[in-house]
Chains A and B, each alone.
Chain A
Amino acid sequence: MKILIVAEHDNKDLKPSTLSCITAAKQIDTNIELLILGFNCDAVIQNASKISGLKKIKFINNEDFKHQIAEDLTQPIMNIVKDAKYTHVMSPSGTFGKNLLPRISALLDVQQISDITQVIDHETFERPIYAGNAMLKVKSTDKIKVVTVRGTCFEQALLDGNVDVEEIKFTTNNSEKVKFLKHELSESDRPELTSAKIVISGGRGMQNGDNFKLLEGIADKLGAAVGASRAAVDAGFVPNDWQVGQTGKIVAPDLYIAVGISGAIQHIAGIKDSKFIVAINKDEEAPIFNFSDYGLVGDLFEVLPKLEEKL
Chain B
Amino acid sequence: MKILVCVKRVIDYNVKIRVKSDKTGVEKDNVKMSMNPFDEIAVEEAVKMKENEIAKEIVVVSIGTEACKETIRSGLAMGADRGIHINSDEDLEPLNISKILMKIVENEKPDIVLMGKQAIDDDSNQTGQMLAALSGFSQATFASKVEKVDSFLNVTREIDGGLETLKLSLPCIITTDLRLNEPRYASLPNIMKARQKKIDSIDVSTLGLDLSPRLSVIEVNDPPERKAGIMVKDIDELMEKLTNEAKVI
Residue ranges of A at the interface with B (Cβ–Cβ < 8 Å): 67, 69-71, 74, 94-96, 98-107, 109-115, 120, 124, 128-142, 175-186, 192, 194, 198, 222, 239-241, 247, 249, 254-255, 268, 272, 275-278, 289-298, 303, 306-307, 310-311
Least distance between A247 CB and chain B CB atoms (Å): 6
Ordered nearest first, which 6 A-B pairs have the shortest CB separation?
Answer: A293-B229, A102-B129, A106-B130, A111-B214, A185-B162, A103-B133
The residue that A134 contacts in the complex, of B17, B93, B124, B249, with Cβ under 8 A, is: B17
> Which residue of B26, B141, B249 has the most chain A CB atoms within 10 A of its CB atom?
B249
Residue ranges of B at the interface with A (Cβ–Cβ < 8 Å): 11, 16-17, 19, 26, 93-95, 98, 120-134, 137-142, 144, 154, 157-169, 172, 178-179, 213-223, 226, 228-236, 238-239, 241-242, 246, 248-249
How far apart are the CA atoms of A244 and B235 in the complex, in Å?
24
> Which residue of B126, B138, B233 has the most chain A CB atoms within 10 A of its CB atom?
B126
How far apart are the CA atoms of A19 and B43 in the complex, in Å?
38
How far apart are the CA atoms of A286 and B197 in the complex, in Å?
46
The residue that B141 contacts in the complex, of A98, A109, A132, with Cβ under 8 A, is: A98
Contact (A292, B239) CB under 8 Å given A102-B130, A176-B169, A247-B178? no
Least distance between A252 CB and chain B CB atoms (Å): 12
- Chain A residues within 8 Å of B164, by CB: 67, 180, 182-184
Q: What 12 additional pairs, Cβ within 8 angstroms, besides A95-B158, A240-B179?
A: A106-B130, A111-B95, A124-B218, A133-B223, A142-B214, A177-B138, A181-B167, A185-B162, A255-B246, A276-B246, A293-B246, A296-B233
* Structural contact, B122 and A183, CB atoms closer than 8 A: no
Least distance between A46 CB and chain B CB atoms (Å): 22
* Structural contact, A241 and B242, CB atoms closer than 8 A: no
Contact (A295, B26) CB under 8 Å given A95-B160, A102-B133, A178-B167? no
Interchain residue pairs with CB less than 8 A apart (11): A69-B166, A95-B157, A102-B126, A133-B17, A138-B216, A142-B214, A186-B161, A198-B249, A239-B162, A255-B249, A296-B232
Contact (A106, B214) CB under 8 Å given A95-B142, A135-B220, A289-B228? no
How far apart are the CA atoms of A196 and B169 in the complex, in Å?
38
Which residue in chain A gives the minimum CB-CB distance to B120?
A131
* Structural contact, A307 and B214, CB atoms closer than 8 A: no
How far apart are the CA atoms of A236 and B229 in the complex, in Å?
32
- Chain B residues within 8 Å of A222, by CB: 249
Least distance between B15 CB and chain A CB atoms (Å): 10
- Chain B residues within 8 Å of A136, by CB: 122, 217, 219-220
How far apart are the CA atoms of A120 and B221 in the complex, in Å?
14
- Chain A residues within 8 Å of B11, by CB: 130
The residue that A99 contacts in the complex, of B122, B129, B226, with Cβ under 8 A, is: B129
* Structural contact, A292 and B228, CB atoms closer than 8 A: yes
Contact (A96, B229) CB under 8 Å given A129-B121, A130-B121? no
Least distance between B197 CB and chain A CB atoms (Å): 31
Which residue in chain A gives the minimum CB-CB distance to B135?
A106
How far apart are the CA atoms of A102 and B161 in the complex, in Å?
21
* Structural contact, A140 and B215, CB atoms closer than 8 A: yes
* Structural contact, B159 and A95, CB atoms closer than 8 A: yes
Contact (A276, B126) CB under 8 Å given A112-B94, A135-B222, A180-B166? no
Which residue in chain A gives the minimum CB-CB distance to B134?
A106
- Chain B residues within 8 Å of A107, by CB: 133-134
* Structural contact, A181 and B126, CB atoms closer than 8 A: no
How far apart are the CA atoms of A137 and B134 in the complex, in Å?
28
* Structural contact, A129 and B122, CB atoms closer than 8 A: yes
* Structural contact, A109 and B95, CB atoms closer than 8 A: yes
How far apart are the CA atoms of A134 and B167 in the complex, in Å?
38
- Chain A residues within 8 Å of B236, by CB: 310
Contact (A297, B125) CB under 8 Å given A70-B139, A137-B218, A275-B248? no
How far apart are the CA atoms of A102 and B41 in the complex, in Å?
22
- Chain B residues within 8 Å of A291, by CB: 226, 228
* Structural contact, B130 and A295, CB atoms closer than 8 A: no
Which residue in chain B gives the minimum CB-CB distance to A253?
B248
Contact (A295, B163) CB under 8 Å given A114-B126, A139-B215, A178-B139? no
* Structural contact, A115 and B123, CB atoms closer than 8 A: yes
- Chain B residues within 8 Å of A254, by CB: 248
- Chain A residues within 8 Å of B159, by CB: 95-96, 99
* Structural contact, B94 and A111, CB atoms closer than 8 A: yes
- Chain A residues within 8 Å of B229, by CB: 277, 292-295
Least distance between A94 CB and chain B CB atoms (Å): 5
* Structural contact, B223 and A141, CB atoms closer than 8 A: no
- Chain A residues within 8 Å of B162, by CB: 183-186, 239, 241
* Structural contact, A114 and B166, CB atoms closer than 8 A: no
* Structural contact, A132 and B139, CB atoms closer than 8 A: no
* Structural contact, A138 and B234, CB atoms closer than 8 A: no
Least distance between A305 CB and chain B CB atoms (Å): 10
Which residue in chain A gives the minimum CB-CB distance to B167?
A179
* Structural contact, B17 and A130, CB atoms closer than 8 A: yes
* Structural contact, A296 and B217, CB atoms closer than 8 A: no
Contact (A139, B126) CB under 8 Å given A95-B159, A294-B230? no
Least distance between B117 CB and chain A CB atoms (Å): 8
How far apart are the CA atoms of A184 and B159 in the complex, in Å?
10
